[in-house]
Copies of this chain bind each other. A is one copy, B any other.
Amino acid sequence: MDLLKERIMKDGTALSDTVLKVDEFLNHQIDPELMVEIGKEFKRRFSNKKIDKILTLESSGIAPSVMAGLEFGVPVVFARKRKSLTLDDGLLTADVYSYTKQETNNIAVAEKFITPGDNILIIDDFLANGEAANALIHIVKKAQANVSGIGIVIEKSFQKGGRELRDNGYHVESLARIESLSEGSIKFLDEVTN
């Protein structure tokens, strides 16, 4: 998605070999117009899939998901990060290890919002080692629902998440795929534009 790649080049910062900062338009400040275009692009890439609902993770996944939800005409559910492990009643839960923060969070979705047979599009802002995506997949499976696809705004292709998910048969669409962040320079993976 050229518009997104251009924006990453303009406003993104490679803080290290593994950390890309995009707080100008996605992670802290949000550009609503860009989110509309991201929603449309997800719709285009998953146009052949049956999607009943979008599942994301608070907070940075919410804006792109809501715009995608508008395009697909479906509700969006965001998993909540939880401090404590109390009160699992009526909740679908999973653990997410954050390499960046070096801590494990528990995430939860109310059972009533994902029901057996639902076709779920998972959307998230970043895909790196796949921890968040796998936790969301775990929640969908616990609910006996189906993962129709995984839509990612920015994939760090040099980390293992994307490869593993595709190897496991998931349809992953990443709107920008980063090949390298070495030496403060952002390089995209060469892709055939479709």
Contacts and interface: CB of A to CB of B under 8 A. Distances in A.
Interface stretch (A76-84, A144-152, A158-166, A176-184): A76-84
A66 B30 CA distance: 8
A120 to B, nearest CB: 13
B59 A29 contact: no
Interface string A30-64: 11110110000000000000000000001100110
In the complex this chain forms, how many copies of it are found?
A: 2
Contact of A30 (B28, B59, B62, B109): B62
Given A59-B80, A66-B63, A30 B75 contact: yes
A23 interface: yes
A32 B75 contact: yes
Contacts of A58: 58-59
Nearest to A114: B29
Interface residues of A, number: 30
A70 interface: yes
Contact of A28 (B25, B32, B80): B80
Given A36-B70, A66-B35, A66-B66, A76 B30 contact: yes
Interface string A1-39: 000000000000000000000010100111111011000
A67 B66 CA distance: 9
A29 B66 contact: no
A147 B80 CA distance: 30
Contacts of A78: 28, 30, 59
A33 B66 CA distance: 9
Interface of A: 23, 25, 28-33, 35-36, 58-59, 62-63, 65-67, 69-70, 73-78, 80, 83, 109-110, 113
